[in-house]
């Protein structure tokens, strides 16, 4: 079947397809895709860019940025928060 869709119809086709793909995914797969997309979008950010992004996202005058810095700077701490 060959059709010549308008721009609007092509856009709608994409939207419907994306909805169906997302609907067929489990939560872990969705989270992995979002994580990968976010990491990719921050590839070229330096520390100042990340500070602005984090502070802007949490709208907390830098509190969460400082918390994250403490996590990054912690030595001999595993992801569960226990000393190794």
d(CA 75, CA 59): 28
Half-sphere exposure for 65 (CA within 13 Å, toward CB): 16
Q: Cα torsion for 48, 54, 66, 39, to the nearest 10°?
A: -80
Q: How do the residues of the chain divide into helix, strand and coil, expressed in percent and rounded to 5?
A: 65, 0, 30
pTM over 0.75: no
pLDDT tens sequence for the chain (84 residues): 778 999 999 999 999 999 999 999 999 999 999 999 999 999 999 999 999 999 999 999 999 999 999 999 886 556 666 655
């Amino acid at each position: 079947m060959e059709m010549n869709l308008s721009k609007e119809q092509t856009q709608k086709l994409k939207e419907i397809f994306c909805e169906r793909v997302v609907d067929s995914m489990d939560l872990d797969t969705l989270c992995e895709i979002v994580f990968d997309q976010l990491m990719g979008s921050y590839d070229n950010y330096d520390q100042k860019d990340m500070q602005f992004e984090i502070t802007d996202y949490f709208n907390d005058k830098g509190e969460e940025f400082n918390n994250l810095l403490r996590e990054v700077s912690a030595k001999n701490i595993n992801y569960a928060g226990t000393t190794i």
